[in-house]
Amino acid sequence: MDIDYQKILTPAGTLAEALSIFSSAGGVGANITAPLKQEAFALIPQLSPHARTAGTLNTLKWDPSTQQWFGENTDGQGFLNYLQKYTSIDIAPARILLLGAGGAARALIDVLEQNLLQPLTVVNRNVEKAQDLKRYPRLELLSYVELNRQINQTTQFDIIINATSSSLHQQLPPLDSAWLKNSIVIDLAYAHGLSTPFMDWAQSHHAKSVDDGLGMLVEQAALSFALWFDNIPDSKPVYQQLRSRE
Ligand code: NDP
């Protein structure tokens, strides 16, 4: 297929202008990434049910009939497809700790809330920014101080998902390392064959297993592709090819 798909560096606060230039130049589809997912959600009038309930989006498709962008979120389902295709993890009975409350975290929260038997625990650096997550009645929202105080008082988490952008800045979230022991750790960041700082940290504190965000990256992209071209691609060979290049 003859597709022109490129990165456009768009500073926060300038997405509306960037999208207008892009559509005028013939752009018909786009992915939105950190830190613009929530900014995109606030701008786009036509939204899929997924994007609407998550309050964030990562995929845009130009609708020629309305001359407007349509917003979808493929991150949450992409994450579930990653778990199903590339791991043996059964999330339904798992006790899960999710770090972060930005665009990616919110997409995951939306699907996890529908698929977990146990309440989901979410921790964010700035808890005030995440207050609206209390709309999920079973969700437990904590600050890192509150969470770290509970170490040794409550059972460990089966799975810890790092949905913060800390790895992109070579930082670690202020999580007590004792939480990591024996947990399955997934960092949504992808480090092109290298471990992210969070993965290295988890490994050195006896996590049960660590993985990066490549599987989710491929799966959310496959779902974006399906929206644009009405054709779901065979994603597993893409994943295998990218892994083999590392
Ligand atoms: P956002 O900018 O929307 O959100 C960033 C989040 O990270 C906020 O919750 C912020 O907390 C938190 N954060 C940033 N730095 C730190 C830190 N040092 N310590 C603790 N918390 C921190 O980003 P996105 O949600 O779009 O992306 C998050 C991550 O997910 C990125 O690494 C991105 O690459 C990855 N991602 C991967 C995908 C994949 O397909 N594999 C898809 C989408 C995202 P606060 O609110 O307190 O500032």
> What's residue 133's pLDDT?
96
Q: Which atom of ligand 1 is nearest to the CA of 100?
A: 9
What is the residue-wise DSSP string for 174-243? S--GGGGTT-EEEES---TTSPPHHHHHHHHTT-SEEE-SHHHHHHHHHHHHHHHHS-----HHHHHHHH
Q: Write out residues with Cβ below 6 Å of ligand 1.
A: 34-35, 37, 75, 100-105, 124-126, 129, 163-168, 171, 173, 188-190, 213, 216-217, 220
Torsion angle in degrees (nearest 10) through CA of 229, 9, 123, 87: 40
* Spatial CA neighbour of 142 closest among 110, 160, 120, 171: 120
> What's residue 150's pLDDT?
94
> What's residue 155's pLDDT?
82
Are 158 and 94 in contact by the 8 Å Cβ rule? The answer is yes
The DSSP bridge partners found for residue 170 are none
61 classed as catalytic: no
Phi, psi angles (nearest 5°) of residue 169: -105, 15
> What's residue 4's pLDDT?
96
Ligand 1 centroid distance, CA of 145 (Å): 19
Per-block mean pLDDT, blocks of 10 residues, the chain (246 long): 95 97 96 93 95 95 95 98 97 97 95 96 97 96 97 90 96 97 97 92 97 97 97 95 91
Q: Which atom of ligand 1 is nearest to the CA of 106?
A: 25
Torsion angle in degrees (nearest 10) through CA of 11, 13, 15, 16: -150
Instruction: Tell me the pTM.
Output: 0.96
Catalytic residue of the set 37, 134, 181, 236: 37
> What's residue 231's pLDDT?
94
Pairing of strands 46-47, 68-72: parallel
> What's residue 73's pLDDT?
97
Encoding tokens for residue 168?
């992109």
CA distance linking residue 199 with residue 173, whole number of Å:
12
Ligand 1 centroid distance, CA of 65 (Å): 34
Q: Which atom of ligand 1 is nearest to the CA of 36?
A: 3
